[in-house]
Amino acid sequence: MKFIENTSTDAYYNLAFEEYIFKNLKEDVVLLWRNAPAIIVGKHQNTVEEINTEFVKAQGIKIVRRITGGGAVYHDLGNLNFSFITNSENTAEIDFKTHNIPILNALKQLGVNCELSGRNDMVIEGKKFSGIAQSVARGRVLNHGTILFDSDLGVLSQALKVKQDKIESKGIKSVASRVTNIREHLTQDVDVLKFKEVLLENIFEFLGKPVTVHELSDADRAAIDGMVRERYSTWEWNYGQSPKFNVKGYQRFPGGGIEVRLMVKEGIIEESKIYGDFFGARDPEELENRLVGLKYDQEAIAEGLKAVKVEDYLGRITREEFMTCIFS
């Protein structure tokens, strides 16, 4: 097992970094890393269903899709993320405990009483602080997760808060759970970077080996930069990979009630229908057709309708109210 240092806090870069190591290196590797505020959505999730879009945009929180399944998680600099990347001939019998035990040992060293819960979660006093997701490719296994050390739980709860009846999809929904920060349970003053040092020592102590560092080449880093540009920083990967889903939005305004129904596939609006008791001078079918082909994204739809006088179709319902019906 070798340790690769990564001091970047850019979520786009860090997810690309992890995938590159997973799919291109041959060594067993451990990574310990942090992200500036970001929501990391599971491979099979519908991104817009998992996030509070307006809050996330206002806070400048990045959205990044990972290559493993499971639910959406919030990262900030109070989190410590871990990745165990190993070679295994029998990938059907990977034991999460192998990776959890060094984390539990590190916390017990700091006086925190914690335990495993279920197959892949770790808890303190019944509250979750960490979980692991897994991916397998060509005899390589990636087990990774996030450790809530001193995260802003207020931002976490708002960033992931959505109206569950707004969207019906085939995506896997995140399951709300009771969570806690490790720092609340410490009896000594330890920050997340010190905890990282303690955890790294415990990982290699558990393996019975000294800490061994692996350095990436310039070619490795250039390849990672390319993955950021071509995939991880793109709307097509982070939103467009979402499964097909239906959007149903209804609002009542002074100018009347309006219901918008959209069918979205790979982030692009395929079908659009507008209902309501509004009075417009033009057939709303023209407005429906304007939406087809646009990204299901506030800026994209605003740009696509920039030259359209929405009131011609919806009477006293304004452009802003129409957008609210689609996204709020």
pLDDT tens digits for range 205-245: 998 999 999 999 999 999 999 999 999 999 999 988 877 88
CATH 3.30.390.50 maps onto the chain at 245-327
Distance separating alpha carbons of residues 88 and 94, to the nearest angstrom: 8
User: So what's the architecture of 245-327 in CATH?
Assistant: 2-Layer Sandwich (3.30)
Mean pLDDT across the chain: 88
Least confident of 41-45, 48-52, 116-120, 275-279: 116-120
pLDDT, residue 133, reads: 79
Query: 2-238: which CATH topology?
Result: BirA Bifunctional Protein; domain 2 (3.30.930)
pLDDT, residue 205, reads: 93
Please determine, for residue 84, whether its predicted confidence score (pLDDT) is greater than 90: yes
Please determine, for residue 3, whether its predicted confidence score (pLDDT) is greater than 70: yes
pLDDT, residue 152, reads: 95
pTM over 0.85: no
Per residue, what are the HEC states of 199-227?
HHHHHHHHHCCCCCECCCCHHHHHHHHHH
Please determine, for residue 94, whether its predicted confidence score (pLDDT) is greater than 80: no
Distance separating alpha carbons of residues 286 and 307, to the nearest angstrom: 13
Please determine, for residue 91, whether its predicted confidence score (pLDDT) is greater than 60: no
Query: pLDDT confidence of 44, banded at 50, 70, 90?
Result: confident
pLDDT, residue 79, reads: 96
* Residues making up the chain, counted from first to last: 328
User: Phi, psi at residue 184, to the nearest 5°?
Assistant: -65, -20
The residue-averaged pLDDT of 32-42 equals 96
CATH 3.30.930.10 maps onto the chain at 2-238
The residue-averaged pLDDT of 289-310 equals 94
Contact status, residue 44 vs residue 67, Cβ threshold 8 Å: no
Please determine, for residue 107, whether its predicted confidence score (pLDDT) is greater than 80: yes
Query: pLDDT confidence of 169, banded at 50, 70, 90?
Result: low
Tokens 């920039």 correspond to 306
Distance separating alpha carbons of residues 241 and 208, to the nearest angstrom: 41
The residue-averaged pLDDT of 145-162 equals 89
The residue-averaged pLDDT of 297-301 equals 93
CB atoms within 10 A of CB 320: 11
Please determine, for residue 257, whether its predicted confidence score (pLDDT) is greater than 90: no
Contacts of 58 (CB under 8 A, 6+ apart): none
